[in-house]
Structure 1
């Protein structure tokens, strides 16, 4: 798959994976689904769901580390800043031969354009939150979040 093909697929995911609403109960159900999926597969991940500045769900599964929580923070900031998944932002930058750095007005120590953070986009409201997984290679972190949102809806 070319960079352009991957970017187009990621953009389509974001257009398709809209929520009609997203509240505390939805965060709990989606987070619990992610925990169930990761546990069944023996994945060493941390999972985080937030709406605005409030963390609504967090779980650290066996094999995850405090580093995963730091990655979650950095990836979630990318979604909050740019309004797209951290993977899409990273792939767009890489395709253009660029990196996430001060030229974009961000500190790379606080932002990470690596896959795993996906926008919670509510129809007619826009991005209201972020679902993030950390612990796997970036494409796999992203794919796990997407699969869970597809099942959730």
Structure 2
């Protein structure tokens, strides 16, 4: 493992430790998704934003410039996050560091899962992972960063999460 890989893994693990909610319900999903959508509109990102609990979509926004492919990427990214309860960026780095791709060789079907960054778990203190926030439409690492920055802004603005 290189120093760069080790540093990136530490950064991604810190995101997972730092971005924990005190609570998360349907209203929070709407507020978080709306906050992220306003930023995407302001910055003219052609993205799709999705917040879901397994097959229950709590928030979805598809902005001009996003394509039908984004829906498929979101489905696969969020399935991976909800199965492993980690961000797809962290999983990508961990598996890459081991030289292993679980979507090859029959473990995870590539039709249903992907390690492409851009999906992040909604982890509630004392409850665990209850949802996934996923963005598709930017470069994969930018998708991840967009989600992280959105969750961070939401948590800083929500008094119950102080």
Q: TM-score range by the shorter chain?
A: over 0.9
**Structure 1 residue 81 displacement after superposition:** 1.1
What is the match of residue 126 of structure 2?
A: 124
More displaced 10-residue stretch of structure 1: 43-52 or 132-141 = 43-52
Matches within 5 A, 1:4-153: 4-101=6-103, 103=105, 105-153=107-155
Deviation sequence 1:80-133 (CA, Å, 0-9, x none): 111100111011111111113255721012101011100000000000000000
Q: Which runs of 5+ in 2 are unaligned?
A: 156-162
| More divergent stretch after superposition (106-115 vs 96-105) | 96-105
Q: Is the 8 A contact 2:54 2:79 kept in 1?
A: no
- TM-score in terms of structure 1 length: 0.96
Does the residue aligned with 1:63 lie in a helix, a strand or coil? coil
**In 2, distance between residues paired with 1:53 and 1:22?**
17
Structure 1, 106-115 or 56-65: larger mean CA deviation? 106-115
The structure number with the bigger radius of gyration is 2
Query: TM-score scaled by structure 2?
Result: 0.91
Residues paired across the two proteins, number = 153
Structure 1: gaps spanning 5 or more residues: none
